[in-house]
Structure 1
Amino acid sequence: MSTGTGRTAPREGAAAPHRSPDVPVVASRRGHFWVPGDTVAVSTGTAQRGPMFVQWEAPEQLRHEVPLVLVHGGGGQGTDWLGALDGGPGWAQQFVAAGFAVYVVDRPGHGRSPYHPEVIGEMGAPFSYEAAVGLFAPPERAGEQSAWAWGREPGDDGLDQLVAAFGPLPADLGWSQELDADRLARLLDRIGPAVLVTHSAGGPVGWLAADRRPELVEAIVAVEPMGPAFVEFPGMGALEWGLTAAPVTYDPPLGSPQAVRAADPADRRIPGLAGTEVLVVTGGSSAFADFADDVVTFLRDAGAPAERLHLPDKGVHGNGHGMLLEAGADRACAPVVRWLAERDGRTI
């Protein structure tokens, strides 16, 4: 039904999200704080560069000792974890309902973490509808991507909801990842050991945080992480250091992107990932699934006991790159919750 504005009205008979009987009621504690940015001189005086907003929630009865830190993808924001496009609960709520405390971050320059070019650097291009469709709902996969319940043109409510949340990335991908990793490391300094749960372009931040704070990263769940190694993204940058655009520590030392690329895979050991359990999660209808095995192989060469969780292997079908936002986001999350619960040897 048209609203007369070119927008699609909500489906007739659809319940308002707060009236849905399918949304679990969870008693919880919640709050927020900031990881402050650096102080820098600017034209108007002194400013902060790249503060990071952190929203946290913990169930009334914690069932798992180690919290989860949820890191969104490129151009997105922490709200990616807070709700699906249909207004239903997101993965953050699923984790809390399962007994985990969660910390949801807005990476510097994204969402509630302010962006100003004078302190962070030049902005990349605006996030377009065409980019959103190509990444999250490619027409060539429409027949198999059953979890995408919306259209693919501006004016469709679901696609509008998706694009509304996206902003520009910093133009310098490597610098952006450096900034993210520093703030995430300082968050871990404050809250202690945690499991990182990353999505898409948030994936490199997980590898970099483990490089900087290996003793504080218990495990990493990488949902459709950027890859494969050394790939170049037109208009964005390249993963010059393997799975990151920012420098990461190798042993034996590899001091340049060229040295990393030329090295034998057996010499691409990353001490920060040694022994760190990594789960790479992919959807059955996503192009990211096509190179996920290459990412797992790179991580294993780096020293991480990495494994892959492909949702169709768990009976969950039709998911694309935005599985945390699609219809039935709870079904896509359930195998991840099970993996996290099973690996947590310190259940309270």
Structure 2
Amino acid sequence: MFRKVSTLLIASLLSFGANAQPKGKREPLVTQEQGSFLVGGTTLTEPGKFEVANALKPQGQTLHGDHAYAFYQIPVKAHKYPLVFLHGAGESKKTWESTPDGREGFQTIFLRRGYGVYLLDQPRRGEAGKSTVATTITPTPDEQFWFTQFRIGNYPDYFPGSQFPKDTAALEQFFRQMTPNTGAFDANIVSNACSKLFDRIGDGILITHSQGGGIGWFTAIKNPKVKAVIAYEPFSSFVFPAGELPKPIQSASLFGELKGVEIPLSDFEKLTRIPIIIYYGDNIADQPTTVWNKDHWRAGLEMAKIWAATINKHGGHAKVVHLPDLGIKGNTHFPFSDLNNLQIADLLSDFLRENNLNK
């Protein structure tokens, strides 16, 4: 499954720890290993006997589905813990690859910094699209909603100082990278597949985005090989111990109030054993407002702070970082691919170093 990548194809070694180069001036990359595989999933079998003469009939045949797809790259002299990247809703592993305007994304930024990287397509999405359940995909013009929901701006206007590239080609690339579910989103199926990945690769660090945030908590609960969780702008599926569920947070969100999820204390306590950090970008309201996208994410940020405080009350190590509080302005829902993504990557590198995860 694993294959060596010939160093004859690449001119020089990685510049570990250095910032990624601007487009057109990048240093060559060298990887020790590169490949892909499918992990997790289930198998359905149709009753009956398979007959070669009637091979188009389902009787006696199988369907393998609901697995995750993983693409990986391991650099020369890699750090001990690889980084596992999980996308959010409507996205795929493309989230972490080249940015919409063609700059390096976290995939190669952190490869250059000496980390093995695993990019996931969750079950029923992207290259893991083989689902065991049916769905109907209806083409729906909704991209201006997503522009607004993801706080690029209030379409057609960009927020002042937005870190999203403002050329039309980049915006088209962004719209085209979105991809549908081929079956209903199921957090248990997705976290099972993520846990199976850690069973296969061993200890590592899980990095999530948006809807993937809840998957991060569930995966860390299921598998002690998750040594840290970094979450970019989670919104739903904040988990709390039984009896400690906070009141729902009301907002002008198009999706209604934000509720937490109650789980057994024994499961919640597993999250207190690893470092966790959550990052949020700019243009999030600091008090209730009728501007629905800003208020939607206000609720998410407030819930995240309540959640982190609950983790820490139980002896954990969770932190919420609102980037404007650090003087970092203009970030959208995709800070890791915004124009200042090297600065955002530096924050992640600092977190890994401070928690002795860069060995």
Deviations 1:82-104 (A, max 9, x none): 11110111012111111111111
2:84 corresponds to: 69
1:218 corresponds to: 227
Corresponding residue SS for 1:96: helix
1:205 corresponds to: 215
1:122-141 matches, within 5 Å, as 122-123=135-136, 128-136=142-150, 137-139=152-154
Corresponding residue SS for 1:120: coil
The partner residue of 1:147 within 149, 159, 163 is 163
* Distance of 1:52 and 1:301 partners within structure 2: 31
The residue type equivalent to 2:317 in the other structure is: P
Aligned: 1:188 with 2:198? yes
Aligned: 1:271 with 2:246? no
- 27-36 or 216-225, which deviates more: 27-36
Deviations 1:29-58 (A, max 9, x none): 321111142111357331112121101112
Alpha-carbon distance change, 66 to 48 in structure 1, aligned in 2, over 3 angstroms: same
1:160 corresponds to: 172
Alpha-carbon distance change, 35 to 251 in structure 1, aligned in 2, over 3 angstroms: same
The partner residue of 2:106 within 79, 91, 95 is 91
* Distance of 2:95 and 2:249 partners within structure 1: 25
Deviations 1:195-214 (A, max 9, x none): 1100001101001101211x
Q: CA deviation at 1:280?
A: 0.5
Deviations 1:135-185 (A, max 9, x none): 22232883334212226xxxx322221121212236744xx2111101001
Q: CA deviation at 1:59?
A: 1.8
The residue type equivalent to 1:209 in the other structure is: T
The residue type equivalent to 2:270 in the other structure is: G
Unmatched runs of 5 consecutive residues or more in structure 1: 1-17, 253-268
Instruction: Give the TM-score normalised by structure 1.
Output: 0.76
Q: Is the 8 A contact 1:66 1:195 kept in 2?
A: yes
The partner residue of 2:23 within 20, 26, 36 is 20
Alpha-carbon distance change, 208 to 228 in structure 1, aligned in 2, over 3 angstroms: closer
* Distance of 1:102 and 1:164 partners within structure 2: 24
* Distance of 2:106 and 2:30 partners within structure 1: 16
The residue type equivalent to 2:303 in the other structure is: D
Corresponding residue SS for 1:321: coil
Unmatched runs of 5 consecutive residues or more in structure 2: 1-20, 47-56, 239-247, 285-293
Q: Is the 8 A contact 1:228 1:292 kept in 2?
A: no
Alpha-carbon distance change, 109 to 171 in structure 1, aligned in 2, over 3 angstroms: closer
* Distance of 1:143 and 1:281 partners within structure 2: 19
Identity, % of aligned pairs?
22
Q: CA RMSD in A?
A: 3.1
- 325-334 or 282-291, which deviates more: 282-291
The residue type equivalent to 1:250 in the other structure is: P
Aligned: 1:320 with 2:342? no
How many pairs are equivalent? 299
Alpha-carbon distance change, 331 to 318 in structure 1, aligned in 2, over 3 angstroms: same
Q: Is the 8 A contact 1:58 1:100 kept in 2?
A: yes
- 272-281 or 228-237, which deviates more: 228-237
* Distance of 2:253 and 2:321 partners within structure 1: 28
Corresponding residue SS for 1:33: strand
Instruction: Give the TM-score normalised by structure 2.
Output: 0.73
